[in-house]
Amino acid sequence: MAELKGAKRIDFQTEPAKYRHWKLRADGESAELIMDIDENAGLFEGYQLKLNSYDLGVDIELADALQRLRFEHPAVKVVVLKSGKDKVFCAGANIRMLAGSAHSHKVNFCKFTNETRNGMEDSSQHSGQKFLCAVRGTAAGGGYELALACDKIILADDGNSSVSLPEIPLLAVLPGTGGLTRVTDKRKVRRDLSDAFCTTEEGVKGKRAVQWRLVDRVATNSKFDGELQAMCAELAATVKKPVGAKGIALTPLNRQIAADTITYSTVRVDIDRAGRRATVTILGPDNAPPDDASGLHALGDQFWPLRLARDLDDAILELRLNELEMGTLVFKSQGDAGRVLAFDAFLAGLPEDWLAREIHNYWKRVLKRIDVTSRSLVATVEPGSCFAGTLAEIVFACDRSFMFQGTRKGDNRGPAVVMLSEQNFGAYPMSNGLTRLQTRFLGEPESVDAAHKMEGKTLDAAACEDLGLVTTAFDEIDWDDEVRIFLEERASFSADGLTGMEANLRFPGPETMETKIFGRLTAWQNWIFQRPNAVGADGALKRYGTGLKAEFDKTRV
């Protein structure tokens, strides 16, 4: 938890009626997301969110709004992101919040914010909802990073409006939500100009911002609204949407939180504080999938794969932010593997249905959230498990996986099995652009081909071990002791060392903008956030706004 006053459990569930910082207005093919932050509604005590600066609570609302745009407003083609305040777009992450937060909160805050920004880009690429950022006033730091996540940026040419990434000269930290990477890789700003831009406190205005490719267009105040409408029309023309698509309501989760358990309709989390681990048990479907697309739309957010995605997403965030000492997450499942494959086949059979597509896209994002969660990830595949198809991706996302060989005495369930579906071979790419099986078998593509030939088949422990789909298989004699020894050993290691090792090992292969953001950027920011130059008593974050200059250790490390 954060060290700020009023620290409390962080809840990631909200809805538009509860928003304090955003206004969401959807009208046919267009929508507006208006950032109008209540400066007195910070997540913790001890700071005010002045100048449209934000904290995690602001981003939780933004993430919710983006989900609702996908599921509740599927007809929207263009989302205009703008400020509800005069003369300022967004001043970025709140400095007082950063200065007073625990290191763990700062890092998890940046990670969630990155995931939200990446979600905007994913929506643009895969959901046909483009984002246009209208910047009037200053867009500094995280404010400009929010603009960078959009497809296009228009900047007012009024002598006041500017874009900047002033973290290095002002705060001694990095733009923590992908700013450096998006400037160079997405907007393809020249390296030397990027250097000049990121070391200039006042930022860049007007035509120079267009010349440096920091924005796409500038307009005087008298022409701003007209240019904005023209850019909306241009973006909308690039998008095809199903005619007459009607959204579904995202209703509140069925969730109960107790001292050591979190229970959802499809997920149960059991917390072992002494062992420093949490067991996440996924419950398979009770029924077969509906007969057709109309049945899917009638079920709405109660359709099992969507309900599970929402539950699992919330559970991962709960553990990340509210259970910091749970160093190991153990994934289990219970249910009928064949029925899970039936749901995979049902969704794969609706390639033109917008809701089926959005459920698939959501699963892709949830699995990526698991990938970048800084905990040891372990899967145990036991009798009664249903790790099949989409759910098998969780096994492949884990750092280690153990499979029970044979059956337990007195247990009438059959042997543990894993089943593969079409979804395991391209539907859910990781941040590196590869599937989890391609990443797993980076140096042996023939192993991916061998696994592909087993699609739809029931694979027992021996077959999974031979195919390399699990780490190790144990019989009943060894299972309890071997799994216990592994978990106890894991808990004895340095949390910092494990975090660094796991993050390095999870993303072999090609480097992409996402892997740079979650790997290179996060690693550097994680380190810089602990350095005295930033957070020491005389550091930039502590002295910001006091009138005193920071005192820097000039040693290069």
Q: What is the mean pLDDT of each run of 10 residues along the chain (557 residues)?
A: 64 97 95 98 94 97 98 97 96 93 91 95 96 98 97 97 95 89 96 96 96 98 97 96 91 96 98 97 97 97 98 98 96 97 97 96 98 97 98 98 94 94 97 97 97 97 98 96 97 93 92 89 83 91 89 88
Pairing mode, if any, of strands 328-334 and 277-283? parallel
Is the full-model pTM beyond 0.85?
Answer: yes
Q: How far apart are CA 463 and CA 482, in angstroms?
A: 20
Exposure string for 182-212, b = 16+ CB within 10 A, e = fewer: bbbeeeebeeebbeebbeeeebbbbeebbeb
Q: What is the CATH number of domain 256-394+417-466+480-503?
A: 3.90.226.10
- At 237 the pLDDT is 96
CB 406 within 8 A of CB 475: yes
CB 147 within 8 A of CB 163: yes
- At 1 the pLDDT is 38
Q: Residues spanned by CATH 3.90.226.10 within the chain?
A: 16-236, 256-394+417-466+480-503
| Superfamily of domain 16-236, CATH level 4 | 2-enoyl-CoA Hydratase; Chain A, domain 1 (3.90.226.10)
Amino acid in position 222: S
- At 2 the pLDDT is 44
Give the C-alpha distances (Å, rounded to integers) separating 402 from 336, 462, 464, 471: 19, 12, 10, 6
Nearest 10 degrees: CA dihedral of 46, 51, 52, 58? -10
Q: How far apart are CA 374 and CA 371, in angstroms?
A: 8
**Residue 388 DSSP symbol:** B
- At 7 the pLDDT is 62
- At 527 the pLDDT is 85
Considering only the C-alpha atoms of the chain, give the largest distance between any 2 of them, rounded to a whole number of Å.
79
Residue keyed to tokens 């997920």: 267
- At 6 the pLDDT is 57
